[in-house]
Structure 1
Amino acid sequence: MNRALAILFAAVWFLPTAAAEVVIVQPSEPSAELAIPLTIAVVSALLLWRWFVPRQLASLQVAFEIEDDLYEVHRISRTVVEARELLSVREVRKGAILYMMGMTGILLLIAELMFDPKTFYQPNLYLIGVLVGLPIVVSPWETLNAQLIGVGKANIKAGFASRLGRLTTLPLLIGALLATVILGLQLEGQVSPQWIAISMLVFMGPTIIAYGRIMGASWNVLLLNKWRSFRGQTTAIDPERPRFVNRLVAVILVLFLFTMPLTALNGIVTVIYVITVEPSNTEAMLN
């Protein structure tokens, strides 16, 4: 997964930029060239699913810190075959399908931009919206359920309560979204982009909180251990001596982990500055 992020970052970094007017091709005007981005995205997604993802999960471990620099490490998979068996588990399969939907949508968008950044086929845009939008909608709901209800209930009574809770959290999440939109409409008289952003922030809140809890608990451990892996040292989390590719991935992760809090802090400071000072280039700064 970490290599996928690195490859995706590199692909986006080298995308061509275009200042010309964008052309949306209607479904009534199909051509063979318009099918190329979709073909590239589908083939790339199949390779990602059949080859890349299982190999990334072939040495999956979970570590719990017991004391300082002392970890209880559980190895979940060792081989590609075991990784594929892990992906066939029901709960894992659901998450993997959502992950592949999002990645396929992103790959399709990248293929559209790389092939012809000034022309977009309308059905592909709708497909991108569905592939990326569905995981975005499901993710906050699932993370909210995991935080409020938990997973893996053992008995029937708890299972019934869990299912009832899952049916309750979705209306709760949608209600919070609609309430934020209505509040913005009452205060501004219209649904402004600022209130749309606030509404989406409320809707994505459970995912943001869950991601923050995970990264907050593991950031320091990941940074230190990946730095040691980059230097060729074995660690409690990575007991095997890292190869060249592992060391390369480790330094990329160190770079991402180090800049992650700086990027978040920069975003917060920028928004506060724009709201309080209201400079003349506000839109350019936010963009």
Structure 2
Amino acid sequence: MAVAFATVTAGFLAEDVGEGFEPGSAIYRTPEEAEAQALVQVGLYESWEEEGRVRLIRSVNDLDHHLRLWQHDRKPGLVLLMEGADPIVRVRDLPGWWRRGLRMIGLTFGDTNYATGVGGGSPAFKRGGLTPKGFELLGNMAELGFIWDISHLAEDGVWQGLDLGFPRVCASHANARALTPTDRHLDDEAIRAVAERGGVVGLVLYNGFLEPRWRQDKTVPVTLEKHLRRHANHVAGLVGWEHVGIGSDLDGGLGLEESPSEIDTVADLYKVGSVVPAEFREAVLGTNWLGFLRSSLPQTS
């Protein structure tokens, strides 16, 4: 794997999951706690880079340099993506996060100070959108050069942000609502809107997002061949294969038991290509995302 999005998150807001949630290190109670936890994660990624384990990608030049080296050393490149913006305590702190290498921000997992989030989703669609601070944050993100990830954001907030004309938009991990009808996923109009802005929809490999019945009955078989193929074909049928990518979400606490039968480890992600027409496999497996990053990241750090 040449390039991956490396999640920066404070975890879960205590009032959403309860004080008894385990592990306790995965919850926060205040924006300041969220900030501290996210900065620890950024520091970890930086230490990995210093130890020669990874390369952090902050610009197009970084990306191209990394891909040349990767041909020989197979060292992964990481683009930092914040899921849930509560670690940004004040909007004016945003430039500091940019300097630390953060390049992509999703405003929510659950609710944050910036917008209404849908978490893992519900058939009862959650109302709510951007807060006043959310509008301010998006405006500053656009000006500084951040990529906006709309995953986990309530639909009203998605359209409020799109109506602002935000220039660099993707859904790092979301599926087709037409096939998995919850507010966690994108309806056809949102998929079209992402594509119209040059974005990519990264398909999630979690069983419950590929086959809704699985969440009630874990014995329901879920496969790439049947279930991921349906989602991939649906998105591609709306906007073309050039806007389809791998989202996976395998860093979200989802393991072997929650993944399609063909996926045993992250090394099996190449099997996603089996559900894509041969002429588009390379694009869906990577070059669509690489093209999006080249058009969205700053040229230099």
Query: TM-score, normalization: structure 2?
Result: 0.26
Higher strand share: 2
Larger radius of gyration: 1
